[in-house]
Amino acid sequence: MPEEKGESKDPLDSAPNSDVVPENEKIEMTPGLDDKTEVSVDFDEEEVKTEDGTFEIPLVDETELALEQEMESTKDLSDRLLRLQAEFDNYRKRMDQRFSAATQYASEGILLKLLDVFDNLERSLQADFESNPETMMNGVQAIHQQMKKIFIAEDVRPITSLGQKFDPYYQNSINIINDEDQPDTLVVEEYQQGYMIRDRVLRPAAVCVNRHTPPPIEEESEDKTDSDEASSEEIEVPVEEPEIKVTDEESTEEDDYTEEKGEQQ
């Protein structure tokens, strides 16, 4: 006969369930946490596992963490500083090379212009002055105009000194006259032309200046000679002769010596 169909039993239901808690036992849960709360902890199992098999979660020290971050930042800044220092050293070397080259060849531009003038002067020396003096004079004037053009291009201009008041910044006085009819400190003669380059004196002018009251050069020289003679005179210093004192013992010895000498005679 067929077996009667009954309710099928799950073999798992018959197995003892370890998670099943008897009704008479109460479960104590941490306040604020329920059975649906998930707690995740990130740690290394090998590092936190102890000898007895339990696990200890290490505490993170905020001071050490901040110190490590500062050390990394300091290392980064040190590397950047070293790179900047190396770049600056290379830049300084390049600037030194450019400056030395600029100072060494600073006159190259003006010399190229003067070479044209020099070539014209050599051509003029090869010509015959006696056969055609007027043409040679025109050639020399052309060279003079060429030099003026170079001076204008380089902003070189002459200093006006004749008839002006003497200024030691622009003129160099090499002679002095005394003329009461002309103003004092007036430049009456110019021996050499002075020149300016932009706002600086390139060469001061050599001039003669009029002075109403020239400096007493002769009186100073006479005073100097008198002082030299006074210093050269010998000063006689009286020398006192030292007094020689004779003691009683020395006098008796001298008397005995004279007596002995008399007896021998």
183 is a domain residue: yes
Please determine, for residue 134, whether its predicted confidence score (pLDDT) is greater than 50: yes
Domain of residue 176 covers: 156-216
- pLDDT given for residue 159 in this prediction: 95
29 occurs within a structural domain: no
What is the predicted pLDDT for the residue at 68? 87
Confidence tier at 54 by pLDDT (50, 70, 90): low
User: Quick check: pTM over 0.95?
Assistant: no
Asked if residue 55 is part of any domain, the answer here is no
Query: Please, which residues bridge with residue 196 across strands?
Result: 157, 201
178 found inside a domain: yes
Each residue's pLDDT tens digit, 58-107: 566 788 888 888 899 999 999 999 999 999 999 999 999 999 988 888 88
Residue 25 has pLDDT above 70, yes or no: no
Residue 139 lies in a domain: no
What CATH code is carried by the domain that includes residue 169? 2.30.22.10
Asked if the structure places residue 177 within a domain, the reply is yes
User: Which range, of 21-25, 82-86, 175-179, 184-188, averages the lowest pLDDT?
Assistant: 21-25
Q: Is residue 239 part of a domain?
A: no
Tell me what pLDDT residue 63 has: 85
Tally the domains of the chain: 1
**Rounded mean pLDDT of the chain?**
75
What is the Cα gyration radius of the chain?
58
The answer to whether residue 99 is domain-embedded is no
